Structures are given as C-alpha cells and as structure tokens.
Amino acid sequence: MKIVIVGAVAGGASAAARARRLDEDADIVLIERGEAPSFANCGLPYYVGGVIETRDKLLVTPQQRLIDRYRLDVRTHTEALRIDSQAKTVFLRDLQKGNERSESYDKLILSPGASPLRPPIPGVDLPQVYTLRDLGDADRLSQAASQAEQAVVIGAGFIGLEMTENLVHRGIETTVVELADQVLPPWDAEMVSSVTEHLRSKGVKLELADAAESIVPVENRLLIQLRSGKQLLADLVVLSVGVRPENKLAVEAGLEVGQRGGIKVNDQMQTSDPDIYAVGDVIEVQHFVDGAPVQIPLGGPANRQGRLAADHIFGRSTRFRGTQGTAIVGVFDMTVAMTGLSEKSLRAGGIAFEKIYVHPSHHASYFPGAEQMSIKLLFALQDGKILGAQVVGRHGVDKRIDVFAVAIQAGMTVYDLEEMELAYAPQYGSAKDPVNMAGFVAAGVIKGDQPILHASDLTDGSNRFLLDVRSPKEYSTGHIPGAVNIPVDELRGRLSEIPRDCSVVTYCQVGQRGYLATRVLAQKGYQVANLSGGFTSYLAHA
C-alpha cells in the first residue's frame, strides 16, 4: 500500500502517524510546501507576542522525528501541483531545486488546509500588511512588531483577537477594525459585550461596524481609510478576516466541492473519487447539530479526520460524526467559548429553540477568588435537547464548555444537565455546578415552573409591570427604566402594590431572586415571568 499525503500539519501529519501505526510496511509519503511538517499553527500568535519564547517550541513533531519514529518519507519545500486521478499519480515540484517529478499512489489524502482571505481593497498587498498562517508569516510579523508602535488588526475573529492581545503584550498600541457590530462574530452579540469592554480596558481601540476601504503608504507608515471616514495610522496591519479552503488541486482534479469551496467528503472522509480522501480545513463538513453543510476550520476536527481517513484506508470501520464547532479563545484575562449552534445560526436555519442565561460563580462563592461567569444555553422546547452553549468568564470556562460539548455529542437534554454529577470541592466548583444550574433553569422553563422573558423582548411595546426585587442599594446603583423596587424578602407583605391588570416581569441581579419572586407571584394568581439572567443579561443586551 502506498499512501501519498498532501499537507503535513494538523490533518496530514495525524493521518501519516496513524497510517504507520496500522501498517508497518506501507509506503507513506508526506508532502509539505512549507519548511516544516507538524508545526503549531495555534501557537503562532503567542510566538509573535513573545509568550512562546523559542521558535523550536512550535515544531511539535520535528521532521527528523517523523522519519525516525514513523519511517515516513517526508518531503518539505515540495508542492503538489496536479493530480491525475485516472493514472493515480500526483505531480510534485521541489521548490528549492525547481525540478518536478511524479509520485504514484494507491490512496491519496489531501490536507492542504485553508489560506487567509485578502479582501480586494487597494493596498492589501503592501509589504507591511501581514496574514498569519505559517512559521514564515510568524517570523515576519515578529520582526515587524519589534519596530512597531501602532498596529491595526482587521477582523475581530479569534485569530484577530489573539493577535491583538499579543501585539499589546509587545507594547504596541492596537486598533481592531471589524465589519460586524461585535467582536467574535460566531458568538451571539450579548455574550461578548463584556469582551468588548475588557479589550477597551486593556487599551485596545475598537472600530466596530466599520471596514477598511484602502491602505496607503505614507512615508514609512500606513494610512488605513475606513468606510466611516475615519483614518488610522499604523506601522503594520494584520489581516484576519477568515480563510478560504485551498481547493485548487481538488477542483482541477474534478473532485466535487460545496458552495463555499470545501471539498465534499462522505463519513469516511472519501471525496467523490474513493481513492482520494480529504480532511481538515479544506473540506465541507456536516454540522453535528443540524446536519447543515458548513466550513469549520478548527484543529481538533482536522486531527480526528486525519486519523479516521487512515483507519478507513486500512479497513477499519469508521464514521465521522460531523463537527459541532467547539471553540475557545483567550482574550487577555477572559475566556470565551462556544459549542453547537449559536442563536444567530439557529435563527438563520429556522430551527425552533429556547434559551436561558445564568451567571453563577465559577466555584463556591464563599471560597476566596470566586469570579462570575456567564452561560447561555440553547435548547429545544419540545424535548429539552441541547442545541448549543456559550460560556464567558475569567476562570472555569474551559471546563464547563467541554461538559456542554460532551452533552451535545451524547445527544443529551437539559434534564441530563440537572442530573450530572460533576467534581466539587469549593476551590473548583459548587455543589450545584454552573452546568447543573443551567440545566435547572432550562428544565424549569420547559416544565412551566419558571416562565421567562428575555431582555430583547422588553422593547416589544407590551404593557408590563417591571418589578426589581433586589435590595434598594442595588436598585439605586442602576435599574431598568420604569422598574419598581420591592426587595424579594418584602414581597409577600407588599403584594397590594403590584397591579393585577397587566403581566409582571421580575428581575434581580442574575435571575435567582427573580425566580423566587415569580414563584410567590404565580401562586397568588399573577401572570408573571422572570427576566432570564436578570439585570446582568439586561446590561449585556443594552
């Protein structure tokens, strides 16, 4: 068996190592256009920022180790130019020597990844405008950063924000320009409004709902003209506006691609030619939750897909389950994570859902150092099936998002979240973990124990009595306009102050006292709902 693999990083290197573990005798040729196989793309921003101090650390599995340990035929500085699928041959060019040769295969695995998009604006190809994909990019950016005082990052996705943090870390005054009216566009806007504030608190300037229209050299600097008319000056620009699948080889070979250019594969990672597999950022995947065709360029899926392709080649029974988009990003002292579908993708797909917000402490609130986190849980009202989750906070976010990710993967419901037995000691969690709390609230909503209303519904013009059940001190530091303050502990004695001819919306700081108030009022015959996530969620929506 001879396997040729194009692209030797996340998907390709995983496929190669797995193939060797399954067959000692296979010929495995690993083709890489760049200087090194198996490097840490995800570490590049932190190398530019000086957090990862030495370049060697980025070489996860150095070329010589791939040769010694896995007996792979690794060819770096070699580009795959063309595939002849009839002759089962791939044509290669040695980029250093310039000569070309062909390589036959029994099975070909494509893992060429995705290349950074360059929007068609004047000046985008100037030398001081950088993208970040490989080691060479990181070297150039790092060198430029050492002489820069001001930078502009175009695109506030996860790579854009990681770069922003690292440029600030190097003492560079940084402005982020983002077309959407929020940072981290895959997340729902209200979940990342605290991230916007956090970025500003770190000195980052944000130009949201704006776009770069041109980049012009001015002496040794760049002038970035924005659509709004604003102008920014910078020593360097980082472009991070998304990626495009590197599908040229596949398209020219006649392989089927989807609407957004991702190579179409079956559950075994085979393309429309069964002897050619494709994995990683170059493929179109089915979303795990709704089965829709999507491009989700993430390291975890690429590694798993590489492994699955090798398994299938050697006769193992495999099935890729789809990608659920579990993602996490650090933004200075905050962590932002999501899994499954967001509210905006559920709406776009016309999928019915309900949502709840909770803002628990990341560990027992009585233990020193407890920090608030925010959780948004999206679920089906009919059966409680979990459709998506987003978690934002300073600590403990990674642990909770992974629990939600597993719950989605296992097809669980909000009732399962209520029952989950999670590790607890006061410095790590709570006897009622934030995940359980989200389950309690969501299950309460489905059962009708806890009718809720969302902050976004408050402006629909309905006649409602807004009841703030926090303490007078909390009320005086900020409240929803028009709200009347009756602290929850006084509520039972002051029912006469609450009108019966309209619905009542209760709220507190995070939703817990508001819930108790709804229980009191509902049992006294009021039509009442609790504001999900309380005043904290109201502020996040504002």
Query: Which are the catalytic amino acids?
Result: 42
Q: How far is CA 354 from CA 342, 388, 451, 482, 527, in A?
A: 12, 11, 11, 27, 20
Among 79, 3, 58, 42, which Cα is nearest to 306's?
3
Residue pair 92/103 in contact (Cβ under 8 Å)? The answer is yes
Is 80 a binding residue for ligand FAD by CB under 6 A? The answer is yes
Find the part of the chain contacting ligand FAD (CB under 6 A) among 25-33, 336-344, 369-377, 507-515: 25-33
Is 9 a binding residue for ligand FAD by CB under 6 A? The answer is yes
Which residues ranging from 83 to 122 are in contact with ligand FAD (CB under 6 A)?
Answer: 111-113
**Distance (Å, rounded) from C-alpha 235 to C-alpha 240?**
17
Residue type, 279: V
Residue type, 97: K
Find the part of the chain contacting ligand FAD (CB under 6 A) among 36-44, 390-398, 483-491, 526-534: 36-44
Which string of x and - marks every residue 237-256 that binds ligand FAD (by CB under 6 A)?
A: ---------x--x-------
Which residues ranging from 401 to 440 are in contact with ligand FAD (CB under 6 A)?
Answer: none
Is 2 a binding residue for ligand FAD by CB under 6 A? The answer is no
Which long-range contacts link 18-25 to residues 24+ away (Cβ below 8 Å)?
18/306, 18/307, 18/310, 18/311, 19/310, 19/313, 19/314, 20/70, 20/71, 20/72, 22/310, 22/311, 22/314, 22/316, 23/314, 25/1
Which residues ranging from 118 to 177 are in contact with ligand FAD (CB under 6 A)?
Answer: 132-134, 159
**Distance (Å, rounded) from C-alpha 85 to C-alpha 83?**
6
User: Residue 499, Cβ neighbours under 10 Å: how many?
Assistant: 12
What the block records as the tokens of 408 is: 């989605």
What is the SS3 assignment for 501-522?
CCEEEEECCCCHHHHHHHHHHH
C-beta of 232 vs 337, nearer to ligand FAD = 337
CB of 95 to ligand FAD, least distance (A): 9
CB of 211 to ligand FAD, least distance (A): 22
Task: Please pick, from the candidates 5, 11, 74, 145, the single residue that binds ligand FAD as defined by CB under 6 A.
Answer: 11
CB of 240 to ligand FAD, least distance (A): 8
**Distance (Å, rounded) from C-alpha 386 to C-alpha 37?**
38
CB of 81 to ligand FAD, least distance (A): 7
Find the part of the chain contacting ligand FAD (CB under 6 A) among 32-40, 207-215, 351-359, 470-478: 32-40
Is 487 a binding residue for ligand FAD by CB under 6 A? The answer is no
Q: Strands (DSSP E) along 341-456, which ranges?
A: 354-358, 373-379, 386-393, 452-453
Task: Please pick, from the candidates 3, 5, 26, 34, the single residue that binds ligand FAD as defined by CB under 6 A.
Answer: 34
**Distance (Å, rounded) from C-alpha 384 to C-alpha 444?**
11
C-beta of 250 vs 414, nearer to ligand FAD = 250
Please, what's the largest Cα pairwise distance for the chain?
89
- The DSSP secondary-structure symbol of 334 reads E
Number of residues that bind ligand FAD (CB under 6 A): 33
Is 7 a binding residue for ligand FAD by CB under 6 A? The answer is yes
Find the part of the chain contacting ligand FAD (CB under 6 A) among 41-49, 122-130, 338-346, 436-444: 41-49
Which residues ranging from 274 to 333 are in contact with ligand FAD (CB under 6 A)?
Answer: 280-282, 297-300, 302
C-beta of 160 vs 384, nearer to ligand FAD = 160
CB of 325 to ligand FAD, least distance (A): 10
Chain residues in the site for ligand FAD (CB under 6 A): 6-7, 9-12, 31-34, 41-42, 44-45, 79-80, 111-113, 132-134, 159, 246, 249, 280-282, 297-300, 302
